[in-house]
Amino acid sequence: MLKRYLPIFDWIGNYNQRTLTSDLIAALIVTIMLIPQSLAYALLAGLPPEVGLYASILPLVAYAIFGTSRTLSVGPVAVVSLMTAAAVGNLALQGSDEYIAAAIILAFMSGLILLIMGFLKLGMLANFLSHPVISGFITASGLIIAASQLKHILGIKADGSNLWDLIVSLFSELPSTNIPTLVIGSFATGFLFWSRKYLKSYLLNKGIGHALAEILAKAGPVLAIALTTLAAWGLDLQQHGVQLVGAIPSGLPSLTLPQFEYNIWQELLVSAVLISIVGFVESVSVAQTLAAKRRQRISPNQELIGLGASNIAASISGGFPVTGGFSRSVVNFDAGAETPAAGAFTAIGIALAALTLTPLLFFLPKATLAATIIVAVLSLVDMGALKRTWNFSRSDFFAMLATILLTLAEGVELGIIAGVGLSILLHLYRTSKPHSAIVGRVPGTEHFRNIDRHHVETDNHILTLRVDESLYFANARYLEDRVYDLVMSNPNIKHLILMCPAVNFIDASALESLEAINHRLNDSGVTLNLSEVKGPIMDRLRRTHFVDELTGHIFLSQYEAWNTLRSERVARSVGDL
């Protein structure tokens, strides 16, 4: 029981010198990555930079205790930060105390929702986010995030919760671009793109050892921060209109409970649900990928509890919604993290940064943080996925396209809701017209095959319809239509057999349709028979009146149905003589 809800006991017993070393090295690299990211994502969420640091301390410790992934790196991530900005932005003005309080409430609600889902084992809810919808959503979010950060690169004010508003706002403010900011921003963006691609091989060429080059390459953003901060300080860029991060309170966050104000909770509910599910999906898919590489397992329902605990921890320590980040987790994995202790060590690293480094960040230009975000999110944009999905499945393509367009045009929440709704509707539509075939007997065998594809034996008075789908409300009426059409166009038939080898369940709607078919065929003098009904379905049917009222029989095999109905007819026609 304790082990089930506290996965920490799975590994803490075997902890040794070697794992400690591995975890410490990984923690160092991730800390170097996380400092600029946590500041940047706080900026993206519209929050003061220290909130990003606060969200990167306790949540990591909580996840180390409750999470099942050995290598997941929890903390602020781009998409969830954007969703936080969208949710909280409806309630309060950026920069106000209410805004921060709402973000803290949002983290708490998201934590509660994840915990409840975890205890109720509702991890399957994440399944409703189909891959094309997630992929489209993340691509669109990446574009919105990148666009939203351009104002910091240009040194202008611009706003908007969708791409169109953002672009209009940017264009109208373009004339007031601040040149020194643009220089800093362009330099940082260019340097980050370059360091991401070439810094490692450059360092290797310079004769630096592989391990060190690896670490230094990850420190690209830190280097960009150091260089631009120095420039801002040395050239007194604030006087020239460059926006700086400014004073960040030094020290650790104080623990508090979120405000319990009914109205705010109610307003944030939908957003909290969406953030929880999106965060969970993003986190679980990276955790699963990494776990599989080492033949480890994660438990999705326990992951809900781990992420729930992280968000509660974020909330009570002044942070905002967090989840497992994709790129950081990969880095953590590659750097050799072996247990969640690496996350706890990262938390210590960030805590030290919060205690000591904040004065150094006074001169950090916001444009540098914006550049960090832009470079990070553009790697999430995957327009090629549209083409790949188009090739494979048109309906998935439309769900994806709708998600992208609606997210861009109407914002993140409507985009994802529409995507989920559309993929469910398209799925129901797809199963509402199931494949079915008239079958006949392959001569000399007990096999029955589609009469359109095989040379088969048929009988004037017997018609067999094989339905290749479970029967439920979305296709029950289609089945009725199909059967009536068949009876209309084959006036000679006396027996209809529904062959059900691919029917995995029958719901109450389909049962009513079968009853209606039975009665209506009876009015037309045709018996209804079933064959090859699976065991569990048979058990259910036996509890209904349908079996008693059925004008024909239920046969174990189609061959038996065929033989019985044919010989009955022969017997009757002999009797007629």
Should residue 283 be labelled a site residue for a copy of itself when binding is judged by CB under 8 A? Answer: no
Binder among 174, 212, 508, 547 for a copy of itself (CB under 8 A): 508
Scanning 9-17, 187-195, 366-374, 424-432 for contacts with a copy of itself by CB under 8 A, the matching segment is: 424-432
Residues 289-348 touching a copy of itself, rule: CB under 8 A, are 289, 292-293, 295, 297, 300
The DSSP result for 284-315, as a single string, is: HHHHHHHHHHTT----HHHHHHHHHHHHHHHH
- The minimum distance between CB 393 and a copy of itself, in angstroms, equals 5
N- to C-terminal Cα separation, the chain: 76
Cβ contacts of 567 within 8 Å, gap of 6 or more: none
Contact region for a copy of itself (CB under 8 A) — 25-33, 72-80, 220-228, 505-513? 505-513
In what order do the strands lie in the sheet containing 462-467?
Answer: 448-450, 436-441, 462-467, 495-499, 527-531, 554-555
Distance of closest approach, residue 149 Cβ to a copy of itself, in angstroms: 29
**Burial of 209: CB neighbours in 10 Å, binned 0-12, 13-18, 19+:** exposed
By CB under 8 A, is residue 41 in contact with a copy of itself? no
- CA 74/CA 29 separation, integer angstroms: 14
Strand partners, 496: 463, 528
Nearer to a copy of itself, 144 or 422 (CB): 422
Neighbouring CB atoms inside 10 A of 275's CB total: 30
Does 504 contact a copy of itself by CB under 8 A? yes
264: amino acid identity, one letter: I
Q: Binding of a copy of itself at residue 524 (CB under 8 A)?
A: yes
How far is the C-alpha of 269 from the C-alpha of 113, rounded, in Å? 9
Binders in 113-172 for a copy of itself, by CB under 8 A: 124, 126-132
Length in residues, the chain: 577
Site for a copy of itself in 469-488 (CB under 8 A): 469-470, 472-478, 480-481, 484-485, 487-488
List 468, 547, 549, 570, residue binding a copy of itself (CB under 8 A): 468
**172: its two tokens:** 């109208």
Check binding of 511 to a copy of itself (CB under 8 A): yes
**Is 118 in a helix, a strand, or coil?**
helix
Q: Is 389 in the site for a copy of itself (CB under 8 A)?
A: yes
Among 17, 254, 263, 391, binds a copy of itself (CB under 8 A): 391
Q: Where are the beta strands (DSSP E) in 258-404?
A: 323-325
Question: Looking at 424, 438, 451, 538, which residue binds a copy of itself (CB under 8 A)?
Answer: 424
Single-letter code of the amino acid located at 226? A
Shortest separation between residue 511's beta carbon and a copy of itself, angstroms: 6
Q: Is 502 in the site for a copy of itself (CB under 8 A)?
A: yes
**What CA–CA distance (Å, rounded) separates 228 from 187?**
9
Q: Which residues bind a copy of itself (CB under 8 A)?
A: 124, 126-132, 288-289, 292-293, 295, 297, 300, 388-389, 391-393, 395-397, 400, 423-424, 427-435, 468-470, 472-478, 480-481, 484-485, 487-488, 502, 504-505, 507-509, 511-513, 516, 520, 523-524, 540, 543-544
